[in-house]
Structure 1
Amino acid sequence: MSEALNRTKLYDWHVAHGGRMVPFAGWEMPVQYPTGPIEEHHLTRRSAGLFDIDHMGQIAVTGPDAVAYLNRLVTWEVSLIGPNEAHYALMCYENGGVVDDVFIYNLPERWFVVVNADNLAKDFQWMQDHAAGYDVTVTDLSPETYMMALQGPQAIPLLQTLTEANLAELPRFNAVETTVSRIPTLIGRTGYTGEDGVELFFPAERAVELWEALLAVGPAAGIDVGPIGLAARDSLRFEPGFALYGHEINAEITPLEARLGWACKFESDFIGRAALLAQKEAGLTKKLISFELTDKGVPRQGYPLTTPAGQEIGTVVTGLYAPTVDKYCGNAFVESDYAVVGTALNLLIRGKPKAAVVSQRPFYTPAYRK
């Protein structure tokens, strides 16, 4: 008998508003709403999209040894993260494989770590297991903390109508503790879409109240905003080249193979450092690429990639339709010799070859990087 799926506090709202609920990482989440994932994708790119992401986990680290502990635990040098700043990092196994990718916030009196939904129990245990010898306390804040994201070029103007914090002065990858619609909220100018926007953390019992306030204030401010499901969240994160655990990264894939070496500070003695340095010295045998189909077809995770002559050289890890560029495309790991932009490939769809080509990454450049 399968285990019961978790539900966020917005489950009833999603169902009442036509959300199609599907299992995801142990949760029952909306994959799309009646407008459909393509329109949800475009809405976020042109205006603002609201995401229920309470399936994500939040862990606090406190104590005198918090910096030393986190420097050992993650690939980034956390002492470089200034007050109220946030940074992306990975936790690795000794062999260099990825435990999870995380976002770390340096907040007053605590470090705040955001982890992936399906990995929360594993991550929390990993963090506890490696706390020995450090004067730290590791606390799972997920049950009492709710997480939403408001993303898109109009996200900041929309949110500004509900908070006294001056969001124009909040830099990218910074955070402020304030109120939103009179609800105590941590606002992080972070996100997973390639657009400007925020991620919000606040008391879980206020979830419906804040969700409805954000949706209601849009029309009043002349801003188009709507709820966004998992399908659009996936295409939005794919286009700017963001990794998803279980696809571009997992226990068998290293940050170097996944093109995440930029998130590794080798001056820091983090778990997995020796293995990654050895891999770097030896050279990579496989690399992450992006590709696009030049034949008709829909790529899916697990489909093989071959040379035009039929030699199998890799496997698709993400495959989808990318609405912004109007292409069927994906990510794959291939033998390093074939990880060159312009290389011709075949994607095997139910055994039938479909022509594809290695593409320049990313398909969409975030506005804040232009």
Structure 2
Amino acid sequence: MTTLQQTVLYDCHLAHGAQMVDFGGWNMPIQYPTGIITEHLATRKHAGMFDVSHMGRFRISGNNALPFLQYVLTNNAAALPVGKSHYSIMANPNGGAIDDVYLYRFLDDEYLLVVNASNRQKDWGHFQKVLVNFPDVSLQDKSEEMAMISVQGADSEKLVAELLDAGTLPAPQRNALSIATIERKTAYLARTGYTGEVVGFELFVPCEIAAQLWERLHERGAMPIGLGARDTLRLEAGLPLYGHEFGTDQDGNEIPIFAVPASKIAVNFAPEKGDFIGKAALQQQYDALQAFAQQDFSRIAALPRRVRLLAITGKGIARAGDSVFQGDRRVGYVTSGTMVPYWKYQDEGAAFQLLEETGKRAIALALLDSSLANGVALDVEIRGKRAEVQIVAAHLKKATERHVRAII
């Protein structure tokens, strides 16, 4: 029997009564005694904290670090100043995703790349093959030396600020970075996250202080959040998960990178970027996507299906793999689906507030024929029965500078 890996916060999870599960070879909390619904709602109204230390963290430096990153990633690393980060993708020559990643530039002479836990070894192997053509690049796996804690939600800024011994929080902009001191150790702070929240942070800290930080955050009001609520939060935000929205489809075919909406901010064709892996295929996908906006589907072969958001208007909860139909024609399938809770609210702008009353709604992401438009009514087959669904633009929207709200 394979022994599951544990993050440095494993004992903390057990102490808080977490239900542990095998997640890609890691023993991770799926939920705490509070339950997924409560954890989801706590993040949306106050603050939730997530152990994401299982994710891979690579440090890239050297004289050819930038050319290497420009070639192996789809975004324009040359446009990334010190103190900023961005979303990017590792493409293959066919325009499919090896992984989706986040690139951080805390320091002038090095980069930090965060990769999905399940893809860590695959990504490392891919980089090693490419590095043959890029001398003077140092690639180091820092995953075992550094813990990673995510704090998300309206109260997260106050909670993280209270941890600092010295230094400041990142500027109040998405993707901003800063370096501070916590527990007399250097801490790297990022305004990034995987929940769709307006306010959120990811903390990169030495492993020896991770448990202490976890408990300090909990004492101040952050709720521990397991993988279950992490998934419902990202799904509500319409964010992709590798192996569902990226990777291969039900038929074993590669999902084109531009099939995923988030790819629009992850692929850059700026002249200064030069050539990169998958560029030609991605250009074809992008051109098809641009043509779709003009109702021109002559290039649909380059992008036959796209990931779309579904609101389940009928009865039932759509799950990954469920077929989607337009009349008698199968037009795709659900890639991710669940029931999510939400806070009811009143008004907008300065008068906006989340109420104490909650509701639930069934939502999904689905890989559908590219010719289908927002607002189109379809059916999803759930356990042999059809339920009505509608393609929507979003499940969530920014309500204030601190909160998001459900789109019902």
User: If the TM-score is normalised by the length of the shorter chain, which range does it land in?
Assistant: over 0.9
Aligned to 2:117: 117
Pairwise CA distance, 1:170: 5.2
**Contact 1:192/1:237, CA 8 A, preserved across alignment:** yes
Query: How many equivalent residue pairs?
Result: 361
Aligned partner of residue 276 in structure 1, secondary structure:
helix
Is the counterpart of residue 346 in structure 1 residue 362 in structure 2?
Answer: no
Is the counterpart of residue 207 in structure 1 residue 206 in structure 2?
Answer: no
Is the counterpart of residue 226 in structure 1 residue 223 in structure 2?
Answer: yes
* Cα deviations by residue, 1:294-350 (Å, 9 ceiling, x for unpaired): 22211111111111x222110110101122273101000111122x12211111112
TM alignment of 1:54-203, pairs within 5 A: 54-108=53-107, 109-134=109-134, 135-163=136-164, 164-167=166-169, 169=171, 171-195=173-197, 196-203=199-206
For 2:387 and 2:171, locate their aligned partners in 1 and report how far apart those are by CA, in whole Å: 49
Q: Which moved more, 1:4-13 or 1:118-127?
A: 4-13
Aligned to 2:234: 237
| Aligned-pair identity (%) | 37
**Structure 2 residue ranges without an equivalent (≥5):** 249-253, 288-298, 343-358
Pairwise CA distance, 1:363: 2.9
Pairwise CA distance, 1:192: 1.0
Pairwise CA distance, 1:112: 0.5
For 2:86 and 2:157, locate their aligned partners in 1 and report how far apart those are by CA, in whole Å: 20
AA aligned to 2:328 is G
For 1:26 and 1:271, locate their aligned partners in 2 and report how far apart those are by CA, in whole Å: 29
- TM-score of the superposition, structure 1-length normalised? 0.93
**Contact 1:48/1:154, CA 8 A, preserved across alignment:** yes
For 1:132 and 1:36, locate their aligned partners in 2 and report how far apart those are by CA, in whole Å: 48
Aligned to 1:276: 282
**Contact 1:87/1:104, CA 8 A, preserved across alignment:** yes
What is the Cα-based RMSD across aligned positions, in Å?
1.8
Question: Aligned in 2, Cα 1:6/1:184: closer, same or farther, shift over 3 Å?
Answer: same
Aligned partner of residue 232 in structure 1, secondary structure:
helix
Is the counterpart of residue 285 in structure 1 residue 318 in structure 2?
Answer: no
* Cα deviations by residue, 1:49-72 (Å, 9 ceiling, x for unpaired): 111111111001110011111001
Pairwise CA distance, 1:183: 3.1
Aligned partner of residue 39 in structure 1, secondary structure:
helix
**Structure 1 residue ranges without an equivalent (≥5):** 219-223
Aligned partner of residue 243 in structure 2, secondary structure:
coil
Aligned partner of residue 29 in structure 1, secondary structure:
strand
For 1:253 and 1:73, locate their aligned partners in 2 and report how far apart those are by CA, in whole Å: 18
Q: Which moved more, 1:328-337 or 1:354-363?
A: 354-363
For 1:170 and 1:178, locate their aligned partners in 2 and report how far apart those are by CA, in whole Å: 15
Aligned to 1:314: 332
Pairwise CA distance, 1:366: 7.7
Aligned partner of residue 396 in structure 2, secondary structure:
coil
For 1:225 and 1:180, locate their aligned partners in 2 and report how far apart those are by CA, in whole Å: 17
- TM-score of the superposition, structure 2-length normalised? 0.84
* Cα deviations by residue, 1:30-50 (Å, 9 ceiling, x for unpaired): 111111111111111111111
Pairwise CA distance, 1:368: 5.8
AA aligned to 1:234 is D
AA aligned to 2:175 is F
